[in-house]
């Protein structure tokens, strides 16, 4: 029949989120969350796909020029850097608010016992992820 489209669901719909060795695609939750924020910004039309690609490309190139290794940590730090800069450039989040949020999370991380979830106590809702 002409024009008929059949979609076959993969046997493992989360398969693309796994590496070839079966490990998760993300080493840490923040990596997935950073990409999810970028995807949300593009999906909501806050930033164009081209704008996102340019911002991410700039961060990756900057990391390479600085001698950062070509690995997943460098990539996801570039993703995070691009998200932060876009949020600041578009005046969605001010630099002071972003710096305060980073410091609050850093302090929470440092004061959290190993193996326990990191939580912000008494922080404004805008600082929760």
pLDDT in tens, 23-47: 777 888 888 889 999 999 999 999 9
Is there a domain that residue 8 lies in?
A: no
Asked if 74 contacts 68 with a C-beta cutoff of 8 angstroms, the reply is yes
Query: 78: domain range?
Result: 27-112
Is there a domain that residue 98 lies in?
A: yes
Is there a domain that residue 93 lies in?
A: yes
Give the model's confidence band at 6: pLDDT under 50 very low, under 70 low, under 90 confident, else very high: very low
**Token output for 121:** 């106590």
Is there a domain that residue 122 lies in?
A: no
Tell me which H or E stretch contains 73: helix 72-89
pTM strictly above 0.85: no
Asked if 17 contacts 24 with a C-beta cutoff of 8 angstroms, the reply is yes
Is there a domain that residue 57 lies in?
A: yes
Residues near 61 by Cβ (< 8 Å), separated by ≥ 6?
none
Radius of gyration, alpha carbons of the chain: 18
Residue with the larger pLDDT of the pair 109 and 22: 109
Is there a domain that residue 42 lies in?
A: yes
Is there a domain that residue 17 lies in?
A: no
Is there a domain that residue 119 lies in?
A: no
* Domain tally, the chain: 1
């Amino acid at each position: 029949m002409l024009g008929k489209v059949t979609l076959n669901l993969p046997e493992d719909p989360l398969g693309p989120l796994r590496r070839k060795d079966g490990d998760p695609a993300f080493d840490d939750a923040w990596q997935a969350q950073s990409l999810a924020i970028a995807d949300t910004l593009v999906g909501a039309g806050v930033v164009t796909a081209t704008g996102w690609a340019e911002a991410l490309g700039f961060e990756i190139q900057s990391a390479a020029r600085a001698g950062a290794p070509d690995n997943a940590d460098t990539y996801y730090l570039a993703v995070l850097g691009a998200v932060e800069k876009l949020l600041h450039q578009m005046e969605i989040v001010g630099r002071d608010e972003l710096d305060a949020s980073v410091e609050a999370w850093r302090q929470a991380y440092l004061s959290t016992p190993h193996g326990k979830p990191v939580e912000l106590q008494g922080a404004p809702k805008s600082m929760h992820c």
